[in-house]
Amino acid sequence: MDAQGNAKHSTLPPIDAHVHIVGNGLGGSGCWLRVGTWHRPLAAFMLHHIGVGVSMRAPGFDEAYANHLAKLVRESSLGAAVILAQDEVYDEAGQKLNFGSFYVPNDYVLQLAREHPEFLPAVSIHPGRADALNELDRCLEAGAVMLKLLPNCHNVDCNAARYRKFWERMAEARLPLLAHTGGEHTVPVVQKRFSDPRTLRLPLECGVTVIAAHSGTKSGLTDPDYFEDFCDMLTEYPNLYGDTSAFNVPIRGRHVRACLEAGVTERLVHGSDYPVPVYGHWAWAQRFIGWNDFRRCERLTNVLERDYQLKVAMGFSEEYFTRVHSLLRRTAAVERLGVQKPGLAVRG
């Protein structure tokens, strides 16, 4: 409620809660990018798909990527995008490992969010770092709205008792955790077993609001599919949510019908997984959307808008697009969103 006693939820704009920042660091962002020979064509394809128009090896790439993303958000139905930092990989002893394909420092996403009103900053901190709690406090102070981890790629055993303090501090600060679940094929995996949503029990028991990215769905044909386990956990943990990121690539989106059912749909938030490509072919082939919606969405060059419109066409509710407002840490930037851009009517 605002000062006039009006309920704000009626004017909340949709938020894309799963948007990646990448950078090569040549312009001083602090990011790094290590794209192996096999992933180079895939990375080039993704950048072409989103329309950045600058080579990922160019000194101006980081700035171009961020500016392009801000423009896509501005020109879409979205009120904001939660942009994700990406921490480095650490071992059990808290030693940094020379592993991973990209790094995005917390300071960089915090800075981008200060510069662009379209962005809300999600930081990334491996809880095994010697300075994990200090870094968490520093990021809270700087306005973090969420914390992102890929337990399987970052090598985080979330259920390890030694991380309890870290989760408790997050719960106390009401900072939600966006944790990757299910297989992963664009970032190298350290521990396959940490793809299981059951690996998130300890943060959930500590009272952290956890958003299981991809809702436990599998990304490769041979991966285990944890969607059913994720659904079972929803009844057990009222503070567990899921997102629909990368549902517009084949395989991940196979559970759309179940995602629209009561009991599950009230616990999902909108996310695209930008710059992961967005195609309507799969949704159309599975009859999640009709031909006209498929054609209409394919004509949208703004991939954030395309993902949004495809999910509208699939039948996701207005609440689904705005739900994350109630899960994000209430910073001034989050509060401002509720009054700035009125929510757009969802086209059915």
**Binding residues for Zn ion (CB under 5 A):** 273
- Closest CB 43 distance from Zn ion, rounded Å: 14
C-alpha of 239 from chain center: 17
- Closest CB 178 distance from Zn ion, rounded Å: 9
CA distance 338 to 230: 30
Name 25's Cβ contacts closer than 8 Å, sequence gap at least 6.
31, 32, 33, 62
- Closest CB 9 distance from Zn ion, rounded Å: 27
When the beta carbons of 149 and 171 are compared against Zn ion, the nearer one is 149
Alpha-carbon distance values, 235 to 31, 197, 241, 326 (Å): 39, 14, 11, 19
The b/e string for 96-119 (b: 16+ C-beta within 10 A; e otherwise) is eeeebbbbbbbbbbbbbbeebbbb
Task: State which residue has the least CB distance to Zn ion.
Answer: 273
When the beta carbons of 164 and 254 are compared against Zn ion, the nearer one is 254
CA distance 124 to 21: 12
When the beta carbons of 19 and 310 are compared against Zn ion, the nearer one is 19
- Closest CB 153 distance from Zn ion, rounded Å: 10
CA distance 241 to 156: 19
C-alpha of 129 from chain center: 22
- Closest CB 18 distance from Zn ion, rounded Å: 6
Which residue is associated with the tokens 């949510």? 241
- Closest CB 246 distance from Zn ion, rounded Å: 7
When the beta carbons of 135 and 273 are compared against Zn ion, the nearer one is 273
Give the angle 159-165-169 at the CA atoms, nearest 5°: 115
- Closest CB 245 distance from Zn ion, rounded Å: 6
When the beta carbons of 273 and 293 are compared against Zn ion, the nearer one is 273
- Closest CB 173 distance from Zn ion, rounded Å: 23
When the beta carbons of 64 and 149 are compared against Zn ion, the nearer one is 149
Cα dihedral 91/94/100/104 (nearest 10): 160
When the beta carbons of 62 and 273 are compared against Zn ion, the nearer one is 273
- Closest CB 48 distance from Zn ion, rounded Å: 19
When the beta carbons of 87 and 273 are compared against Zn ion, the nearer one is 273
Q: Check if the beta carbon of residue 280 is closer than 8 Å to that of residue 294.
A: yes
When the beta carbons of 86 and 206 are compared against Zn ion, the nearer one is 86
